[in-house]
Structure 1
């Protein structure tokens, strides 16, 4: 399995975002990619590692405390037709609430990832 990471892609009011992902056909492969990401201490200490995947037609996701964000990732994967793949949006909280802008940043991060992998 290969994890692709795009770090420091968005910064807003102290919060910073990264996006990662890779092929994953099972929940075990998703867990392995998340474990690989968290081996990097910086990502392990992130406020949120929100993720979603479409595995053989079944959507699986985890908000990791960023309520509603994983659903956005899942919807974007469905629209892009990207299956058996996990996308993880990482946020380091900067001390100021972003309100609805946090969802815009999740969308922008996923768009960045999809563009980089040619989707």
Structure 2
């Protein structure tokens, strides 16, 4: 597997743009099929696993071109997979770079249709297939979230839940027993504000327990 490092990108500590999930799209260019596959990943290992998955699925394809960017260790790599140099891997990587997202891998599978496209045609086709797959996967902005938990009685729960949309809270789980135990996540920048709101609504009785942090989007 050919690998090539490119210039590092700017690291963002509390905010970054990536893909919501996985996407696939196909275009036809002068009888050649170009199938774009895009996926969010968080490590180089995940990117390589995805590339190998697509290669295995499309083992009869003429080319499986790839590109990925991973925030961890500022990694950027691509492969032309025997297409003419500069016509496939770099255009695919440029879809990621120019769209401003990271933690993503794109594989573009080509089934040759018998007509040569030329350098310009290849660049356009690989770029278009990669972009179409990204559109299917959806670009989203991930922010740093605080994970926390607390237990309340049913009366307080009924009041508190109405504020969840206002604060952009993600409900990870609700356990209904004698009381209600909630596991929630909120943007870091709003955690202090929400803790104050909880205190005001419960007369100072409720102090949430902070569990950790993660990147997420809503």
> When the two structures are superposed, what TM-score results if normalisation uses the length of structure 1?
0.84
Specify the structure having the higher radius of gyration (Cα): 2
Runs of 4+ aligned residues of structure 1 deviating over 4 Å after TM superposition are none
- Alignment partners' CA distance in 1, 2:93 and 2:131: 12
1:83 maps to 102
**Contact 1:51–1:70 at 8 Å: present in 2 too?**
yes
RCO greater where, 1 or 2, for CA within 8 Å and sep 6 or more? 1
- Alignment partners' CA distance in 1, 2:34 and 2:92: 14
**Contact 2:54–2:107 at 8 Å: present in 1 too?**
no
**Contact 1:3–1:37 at 8 Å: present in 2 too?**
no
Q: How many residues align?
A: 114
- Give the unaligned 5+ runs of structure 2: 1-20, 140-218
- Alignment partners' CA distance in 2, 1:25 and 1:118: 16
- Give the unaligned 5+ runs of structure 1: none
Q: Shift in Å at residue 96 of structure 1?
A: 1.5
Match of 1:49 among 60, 64, 69: 64
Output aligned runs, 1:1-119, within 5 Å.
Answer: 4-6=23-25, 9-40=26-57, 43-56=58-71, 57-66=74-83, 67-68=85-86, 69-99=88-118, 100-119=120-139
> When the two structures are superposed, what TM-score results if normalisation uses the length of structure 2?
0.48
